[in-house]
Structure 1
């Protein structure tokens, strides 16, 4: 079997014992993420209500900001293996705690809010640590060859997780089992991941030769602020990420509002939400596989950033034209597919311009901190509009979607400004690699 798998995936001797455990760990997390999202969102909307979701989003992303800060302090101080093992075991134990909260009948708003927080941490925090861990095992040449194979396991995990969460309500109802028992599936898969780390990956040798220099959260943020302030193209891109993160939560909230009113029972909504995530996953895979690479190759990198702003604006206008379930589903699919495929790949390519010694901090700031802050701002604005709607005679829907449209125009202006200063920014000294003489323009096809 080992020889068959080695030949099937074109692996070199002794790579299977590393690639297979890593792939299974990513598969397990991807599966658990889908279960958490589908079950937590469905349960929260059914048991608590859509308006309270805005409060949960704000609190969740404030906590995520704290977790990102903690990560920046500990990730380079501890062994990569210990961090990975500790994270998988911690997730397993936290899901055990969550199941106990349901057993002892704590308030629904607390249980499902905690569940949603865990889903966001699984989606954002786990991959950050996982890929840092994987990067410490393989050198650059190995990573280019093996990482696509490892990442494919994540896609398979997504599909299985969506399938489990979608059919679980009907199966559990027939068996007379509480729907909360689905949480135990996550416990089992994270314990499985912990065993994989300890048994197969605990003796891995790190290829990372970077010497850690103690740095506080303030130092990290100061470095990022100075970088973005001085490199003007990154400054305008930063504004656009912040704006479109806020617009995204407006669209998501409207989607939840419409779909929650369309389905009355928890089982019906969980099935619908599972099918929505299945469609999202399959469409994302198709776009990422067959379109994204061609678009990034055919167009200049700066031009690909125009796709996201106009897509986001189109999604918001679609909600205004068709404020029903069809419009809500179409709007969130349009926005998320563009954000998670073409725009994400463009951002990652753009971040490759940042020198190695700064890239990690700048990437976490752009993909972590800005996303969290934008979500908090968007949730706050939507919440304020809804509160004002209780005392003033106006439509809250047109209020917060109208604000989203204005913000989208501001984001479009920001991207156009980024394109204006793009070439000059490439000559900024902060984009110069300390240890290499060749310029960025010589190394990248931009």
Structure 2
């Protein structure tokens, strides 16, 4: 069952416990939030009045700015797990206490509850996801975060459907106490997670800026605006994004007001309204769950400019529905349709547009849009509602909203019309960042007929690297007769560009390509010949056969000959086998190398044995490297064992080929590749780092432990890898805990050995185990000191090595204050002077102690 759950969720064994804890926490938070949300909204509408909603919206928008500023400053100094625990207890206690204020008849309590439910939902989500980002690295988050989100939505579904029956059993007001209970349980879960999975090992104080202010505070609206002004001036896309975000928040405020007003007039009692909210939001969350798990991004069918038109057009329909039929059915249509289209089409499309900017520009634009523009839009929407309150019925707000939609749609049409120009402008200004987008999103960015025409013109007029860039970009688009254009470009480009373009030709266009290949054939250009033969081998045999025969008979280059032979006889396996065997048995080195390459390209496992035998006989670096690549192509299961003996080969070519062919399958293999990071050849170092970053097998503990290696190049490379993989403090903690556990085992073994009769062998073994224990502790301190940018642990480490007992004691005290308590309580006893019995007790309490059963034979068998 356990294994099936992991397989179904696509979660690795060492991740499952952490995932389940995190999912449970988000599940509980969402249950509490939906109970509070339904209660607070019902109480506000029925006991205070829907007419006051715009004022509450305004206060909420302004208060968010100040609250977020305070929270950002706190988050810079406090571990997220601890902060979330405090927030859950504080929010639960505050909401629970307000339950006892209700009988006092203070009307202002209900706006306070409405504001609290809005603020707490956002703040708790922010801190939770910050904590999740500390617990999971980038690769893990891509797999696990959608599952966590689904767990939260399930909690919202259950909480929503439970609201009405729970309110009936315990009374509506007592839902505040239910929120308190669930918040306390959630806080207990967080505390347990903080104990099991610390997210901040070294306690850091926030930096102090000039003027005495602590760093990490949120910039003001004026500061955000000043940063974004230069981008507004030079980028049409920034102007469009600002307009779209502004209008979206204006109309969202209006349609939310109309929704609440329609619900309020449709249900005269609190019981009826709470039942509606419970069922409606339950089904709405079910729709969200289906979208999250099964629908995904469906905006890709039309391209970005068209996709961005769908959501505002639906808003127009929703406002027309309110205008002509202001009732609960229009309200439900408006809420469901806008939520679904926002989730499936608009938000993903807007995210792709935002992703076009470089990270430095996104860091300026995104906070401005999500902060300043959102607040201004909310305030404008609330002001419109407030101003219209005494003038006309809320149904006629639809007319004002449709005017706003006119502005929204105008900017959407501007984007559609100027989309090619905008993209080309971003490219020319080097503001376009396609690397941050997934391949499918890059395709959507350029899925526009006008854009295709512009890019085709650029392809025909560009040269060299620019030509390859445009060709590669257009290859992913569905453009008729694109290969004909590539063949035209091939004729006028230099050889290096031709080689790159040939790799982009599609297999279906072989008949048109072969005549061009013949025209470009030059036996004195082996690299160009090789590119043509490789491209020809992708074409059908009847198309490429004659060309391959011509090249095979004319060329003397072994690699070209190998590829042409494979292409010529791919439909005649017996003939191909005989030719390759003849090549492999040749006395000419070049001929044997051609045979090795052909064997790999043939994909025939029958050549594995022959190639393995050749490894032991060949000494030439070029043929050894070719053998390694061919064995990799043939998926030799024993290849790793063969390659291990060549990792320290004097030839750069052989070491690189061995590294490229090596498959990281376990910790030992990972450690072997880590050693390559210290290679004197830059290309080999780079390849090793890429292999570790992109490999299917990864173990952050091995990477962290390898920081102990005494080679500077290895440490620098590992830091780059750890940063790109987004390795967290949790991984460092796991490494430290594993080292501490081994230290306690060594100490236990030494204590057990002391009971044996004295002998030189026993004393030597005890000294060895004691030294191993000290080494493990030093490894922990070394890794922590490397991770600690402040340098405090390095100073403490020197103090721990001092012969002065006072200085050593002060260093232990400083380390206790600096490190997370979860690590301190198990590490410090290994450093401090204390009775052996006490140290053994701490070890037994926190780890599984090896069992010797009082038997000397069992003890000694551990060292054999």
1:192 paired with 2:188, answer yes
Residue 165 (structure 2) aligns with: 167
C-alpha displacement at 1:246, in angstroms?
A: 1.4
C-alpha displacement at 1:83, in angstroms?
A: 2.8
Q: 1:200-236 deviations in whole A, cap 9, x for unaligned?
A: 3325679xxxx99867604445334544553322321
For 1:126 and 1:431, the matched residues in 2 are separated by 35
C-alpha displacement at 1:148, in angstroms?
A: 1.9
Residue 217 (structure 1) aligns with: 219
Residue 118 (structure 1) aligns with: 116
> Mapping of 1:259-408 within 5 angstroms?
259-293=263-297, 295-360=298-363, 362-387=365-390, 389=391, 395-408=392-405
For 2:269 and 2:101, the matched residues in 1 are separated by 23
Residue 232 (structure 1) aligns with: 236
Q: 1:356-403 deviations in whole A, cap 9, x for unaligned?
A: 34435533433444333322211111111113x2xxxxx333542211
Q: 1:302-355 deviations in whole A, cap 9, x for unaligned?
A: 321111110111110111111122222222222233224421222223322233
For 2:340 and 2:437, the matched residues in 1 are separated by 30
Q: 1:68-115 deviations in whole A, cap 9, x for unaligned?
A: 34455554x335xx1342134223312312322331345554322222
SS of the residue corresponding to residue 402 of structure 1 reads helix
C-alpha distance 4-325 of structure 1, shift in aligned 2 (>3 A): closer
Normalising by the residue count of structure 2, what TM-score does the alignment of the two structures yield?
0.46
For 2:109 and 2:98, the matched residues in 1 are separated by 6
Residue 255 (structure 1) aligns with: 259
For 1:180 and 1:439, the matched residues in 2 are separated by 44
8 Å contact from structure 1 (residues 42, 269) kept in 2: yes
C-alpha displacement at 1:251, in angstroms?
A: 1.6
The gaps in structure 1 that reach 5 residues or longer are 390-394
Aligned residues: 427
1:142 paired with 2:140, answer yes
Larger Rg: 2
8 Å contact from structure 1 (residues 72, 217) kept in 2: no
Q: 1:118-165 deviations in whole A, cap 9, x for unaligned?
A: 222243333333333323333322222222222221121111221222
1:127 paired with 2:125, answer yes
The gaps in structure 2 that reach 5 residues or longer are 209-214, 446-864
For 2:373 and 2:397, the matched residues in 1 are separated by 21
Counterpart selection for 2:179 from 152, 177, 183: 183
Residue 77 (structure 2) aligns with: 78
For 2:174 and 2:134, the matched residues in 1 are separated by 42
For 2:178 and 2:438, the matched residues in 1 are separated by 51
Normalising by the residue count of structure 1, what TM-score does the alignment of the two structures yield?
0.85
Residue 392 (structure 1) aligns with: none
For 1:290 and 1:88, the matched residues in 2 are separated by 33
C-alpha displacement at 1:242, in angstroms?
A: 1.4
Q: 1:223-266 deviations in whole A, cap 9, x for unaligned?
A: 34544553322321221221122112212212211221222221
For 1:441 and 1:87, the matched residues in 2 are separated by 32
SS of the residue corresponding to residue 322 of structure 2 reads helix
Q: Compute the RMSD of aligned alpha carbons.
A: 3.1
Q: Which has the higher contact order (CA 8 A, sep 6+)?
A: 1
SS of the residue corresponding to residue 306 of structure 1 reads helix
C-alpha distance 234-27 of structure 1, shift in aligned 2 (>3 A): farther
Q: Which moved more, 1:66-75 or 1:86-95?
A: 66-75
1:35 paired with 2:31, answer no
